[in-house]
Amino acid sequence: MKCILVAAVVVLMAWVSSFVSHAQAAPCLMITLTGTQGGPPAFKGLAGPGTLVRYGEDSNNCSAMKLQFDAGRGTVMRLAELDITPEQLNAVFFTHMHNDHTEGFADLITLRWMFFGTGPKIDAVCTSDTVSTLGFTISCQKFTAHIADSFIQSGEVAQRHSEIKERTAGGPADLINTITFEAKDEPQIVWS
């Protein structure tokens, strides 16, 4: 988690500093919590963990780049309250692969596919596969590859593709560009 956040801050600071030389537009950075509820249970309408980072300049309402860190339950609803649709996100970063941090991603990517089924792809950034102390493999790569298997198995992907041929025939997972990295104890660039 520290690696992702440190790398993201470094990239954001470099990008923001590039705007300092432009006198006509002031750089800006906005951070919005899209969910703060941790753990599996739902609690009084709170959304699962998530943070939206927007940056740009005042001329584009600080929205040249939109990055979502974690996508817990309710992420799409919280983004909708900010007038941000799934296709406007540039990347989603997962701090770790627990369901309270990932379960809103299926909603996000499925809506992106349903309404904008030809792209652009969204980057999903996460650590490489890890093996737990009990021997289970925790895999972001498999998670993103199989995100919409239930829709494929139920026939909905084929039905939706027949309605609008421009949608990818493989379903929502075809719109994900999964980027993995090896976790390290020092800062590293994982996405740019």
Write out the DSSP string of 147-180: TTHHHHHHTHHHHHHHH-TTS-TT-GGGGEEEEE
How far apart, in whole angstroms, are the C-alpha atoms of residue 175 and residue 169?
Answer: 11
How far apart, in whole angstroms, are the C-alpha atoms of residue 176 and residue 104?
Answer: 15
pLDDT of 18: 53
Q: What pTM was estimated for this model as a whole?
A: 0.83
Q: Which residue has the higher pLDDT, 141 or 24?
A: 141
How far apart, in whole angstroms, are the C-alpha atoms of residue 154 and residue 147?
Answer: 14
How far apart, in whole angstroms, are the C-alpha atoms of residue 136 and residue 45?
Answer: 32
pLDDT in tens, 28-63: 999 999 999 887 777 778 889 999 999 999 898 899
Dihedral sign, Cα of residue 157, residue 124, residue 85, residue 79 = positive
